[in-house]
Amino acid sequence: MAVATLISRILGLFREQLIASYFGASGLTDAFYVAYRIPNLLRDLFAEGAFSSAFIPIFTEEKNKSPEDVRKLFSRVFWSLVIITGILSFIIYSNAHLLIKTFAPEFLNQPEKFELTVLMVKILAPFLLFICVAALFMGVLNTYKIFFWPALMPAVGNVAVILSIIFLVPYMKSYQLPAIISVPIGVILGGFLQFTLMIPALLKLNLNFRPSKNLLTKPVKRVYAKMGPGLLGFSINQINLLINTILATGAGIGAISWLNFGSRLFQFPNGIVSVSLGNSNLVHFAHKWKENKTQEALAVYLSTYKIMIFLIIPITFFTLIFSEWISCLVFERGNFTRVDTFNTAKALFYYSLSLPLYGLYKVTVPVFYTIDKERVPVISSFISIFVNIIFALTLIKSYGFVVLAMASSISIFVNCLILLTSLKPILKFRFLDIFSPFLFKTIGSSLLACSLLFLGKSHFLFFEMILLKKIFILSSLSIVFFSMYFLFMFLMGEREKVLYILKKFKIM
């Protein structure tokens, strides 16, 4: 799953490189990212939020009963999801002007930019339907322990955007059309391909798409009832994202793009490690919990957590030290300037402070849906988002757009603290299991490895190098860094875990 996600994230970075190179951190890219954010907000509910977490445990229960029960549940959830997301997509399309007035009021001062953003919202409206159905298919295949193929689907979406930019931009320019429109066209094509390419795998499992007159059976109602608290949490998230978007649009031209590019770099390791481990943990934890094997379920959760911090802690330190180099290497070309590089690096630095916390969050939240305690992550989200909003509103005028990245890191810390405190008496683990000697070994090994690299960093005139030399230097330093990290962990007594990870990645 991590390998498939790695492929997708590499292609995702290449996609962002193309966008940065073709359009820079400009008003055009700001317009696209605002337009893309609108269907993406609703996608969080169905694709990565309450729906997935509510559906998988119930689908697992039905799968343990009979093949006919699971076929019926799949068909009914599929058609109900199509109807719901289809209606929401139509609402987005028909209310595009109102949505942009709400999410990006500053754009009203630039009529051409405003109308272009509205047009892109209309193009992107069906993306919600496509990607939510793809998330449903991915969740179903994961319950059958099929991970690689569905995890590869986002890579298909990225390829669609890449090809769209390469081939459509010259066409758009020749007809004097806004070239940025090639990006949402690629997004829509990629969303369509993501769910259609998983259909053959579902048919092999004897799952069917035949519609039923009665869609809202008891298991289907349970899925949507379980989503209820998640819907409340989602509405809270909308307030947070809405305020962040408004603040970013008022922070000057390029601010939205810098935050987005920084977030993309942050999401690269987050997706490879945290998201893939979180999805895998949900499936395995749900199986053990539904079989009343609570100790084994706890063991799954803790082992997933330890693998996560073993990988994410050193990545965090490396990203913090080399944030400017990474931003330069990935984005600085074409219309993306040195100023854009440094501003993107600032966003990346403050986002990356929360990398381990996001990993913990992704591993922990699905557990609450499995154990029927959905209200807890809703309450924790409400409190953490309140902290986020207050922090951002208070400091945005003094410190600019980077405050939004800082606020994100602070809010996820608050969120994780509440989640762990609430989960501890339920799973009956100790805080020492989380804040364990193993955690401090990963931090200590990372610091030792980083200190050696940091001393030699100033000897490289990185920004003046040609591209191939930049790739060679940064790649070589990353290999040296992780080799030293594994060595220090090995010397600190974590021989078994080091060998386990190396074997998983076929290094040994």
Per-residue pLDDT at 230: 56
Per-residue pLDDT at 183: 92
Phi, psi (deg, nearest 5) at residue 81: -65, -40
Q: Is the pLDDT of residue 46 over 90?
A: no
* pLDDT average, residue stretch 210-233: 70
- Report which listed range, 73-87, 116-130, 211-225, 295-309, is most confident: 116-130
Token pair belonging to 345:
């690096």
DSSP 3-state of 115 = helix
* pLDDT average, residue stretch 125-138: 88
CA 318 – CA 274 distance, rounded (Å): 17
Q: Is the pLDDT of residue 238 over 70?
A: no
Q: Is the pLDDT of residue 1 over 60?
A: yes
Q: Is the pLDDT of residue 177 over 80?
A: yes
Per-residue pLDDT at 171: 86
* pLDDT average, residue stretch 490-505: 75
Q: Is the pLDDT of residue 90 over 90?
A: yes
Closest CA to 316 of 433, 508, 449, 495: 449
Do residues 303 and 388 lie in contact, with contact meaning Cβ atoms separated by under 8 Å?
A: no
pLDDT band at residue 161 using 50, 70 and 90 as cut-offs: very high
Per-residue pLDDT at 282: 64
From 204-208, 370-374, 503-507, the region with the lowest mean pLDDT: 503-507
* pLDDT average, residue stretch 22-39: 81
Query: 3-state SS of 396-465?
Result: HHHHCCHHHHHHHHHHHHHHHHHHHHHHHHHHCCCHHHHCCHHHHHHHHHHHHHHHHHHHHHCCCCHHHC
Per-residue pLDDT at 95: 93
Report the chain's mean pLDDT, rounded to a whole number: 81
DSSP code, position 66 = -
pLDDT band at residue 508 using 50, 70 and 90 as cut-offs: very low
How far CA 256 is from CA of 20, 375, 402, in Å, comes to 13, 32, 11
What ranges do the domains of the chain cover?
A: 27-236, 254-508
pLDDT band at residue 124 using 50, 70 and 90 as cut-offs: very high
Closest CA to 289 of 366, 378, 374: 366
Token pair belonging to 243:
């305020």
Q: Is the pLDDT of residue 270 over 80?
A: no
pLDDT band at residue 96 using 50, 70 and 90 as cut-offs: very high
pTM score of the predicted model: 0.70
Closest CA to 328 of 404, 263, 262, 267: 262
Q: Is the pLDDT of residue 29 over 70?
A: yes
CA 50 – CA 52 distance, rounded (Å): 6
